[in-house]
Amino acid sequence: MGSFLSVTNGSAQPPRFIVLRYDGAAKDQAPVVLVGKGITFDTGGISIKPAGGMEEMKYDMSGAGTVAGLFYALAKRKAKVNVVGLMGLVENMPDGNAIRPGDILTSMSGQTIEVLNTDAEGRLVLADVLWYAQERFKPKHMINLATLTGAVLVALGHEYTGVMGNDKDLIQKIIAAGAATSELCWELPLCDTFDEQINSRFADMQNIGTDRTAGSSMGGIFLQRFVKKETKWVHMDIAGTANIKKPIGVHTDNATGVGVRLLDRLIAEQFESIG
């Protein structure tokens, strides 16, 4: 996991990779796999963030927090479904050992990544965790949650989670579950021209696009390169909804736990009747 492990190079804290399993259905039922980004604190690394607002970067583990919260909800109601939760936990710090812009990483998939910005680190973690999830658990459905881009906050504010992926049906079911639980979602596009913009001269891909446009979709298109064609996959960018400064709808201020209600309903309506 050269991509995942590289992010922790500058931290005194070792990385952690957590696998949660909830087995509530027959053993032959393929699990729903949920992947959470768990950057326990994100300074941006060598591409360091501005000082203003950096204290909020403790919320960069919100994707992993949602996965943990969902497992609690599933266990509480004894859900009849098999679910696997994966969390890649690291701290992104600047240090003499930290990854640098220009470094080239080898991911678990064998694909190489040119790092142009060390603050686009969440996708480096998720790349290996998504690949591991598919290699180990062979899911039909895989959903990841991540406070991935500031661009989604610019586009959708604090009211909507950005969703994108390779399966329109799963996207629409997530949007419907969000509407029913007051955790609103909005689909953002992934397309071939976005994919072309992350090609690298020196590696298979680079970790950001060629400019500042379509930043949320660029994060999603990067992740899609680590998703197998047979896997139905959706990426949920919760950077705008995981942490809010004043109450909105069902959510209080600060950490919202966004996605727990939504995914619990999605699983109850769409996956518990399977198998």
188 inside domain = yes
Q: What is the mean pLDDT of the chain?
A: 96
Does residue 201 form part of some domain?
yes
Mean pLDDT of 122-140: 98
Residue 156 lies in a domain: yes
Mean pLDDT confidence for 95-111: 98
Rounded to whole angstroms, the Cα distance separating 65 from 71 reads 10
Does the structure show a pLDDT above 80 at 274? no
**Could you tell me if residue 232 is inside a domain?**
yes
Answer yes or no: is 64 within a domain.
yes
By the 8 A CB rule, do 10 and 99 touch?
yes
d(CA 58, CA 44): 12
The average pLDDT across 2-11 equals: 98
Q: In which order are the strands placed within the sheet that holds 185-187?
A: 16-23, 82-92, 32-42, 141-146, 232-237, 161-165, 185-187
Q: How many domains does the chain have?
A: 1
- The answer to whether the pTM exceeds 0.85 is yes
Q: Residue 2: which of 115, 87, 136, 94 has the closest Cα?
A: 115
What's the CATH number where 240 sits? 3.40.630.10
Question: Which of the residues are catalytic?
Answer: 49, 123
d(CA 198, CA 214): 12
- Structural domain boundaries, residue 17: 2-270
Instruction: Examine the pLDDT at 275 and tell me if it is beyond 50.
Output: no
Instruction: Report how far residue 226's alpha carbon sits from residue 120's, in angstroms, rounded to the nearest whole number.
Output: 16
Domain membership of residue 35 (yes or no) is yes
Give dist(CA 275, CA 53) in Å, integer: 47
Q: Is residue 181 in some structural domain?
A: yes
Mean pLDDT of 249-274: 92
Which residues lie across from 188 on neighbouring strands? none
Residue 275, domain member (yes or no)? no
**Rounded Cα distance, 123 and 222, in Å:** 7
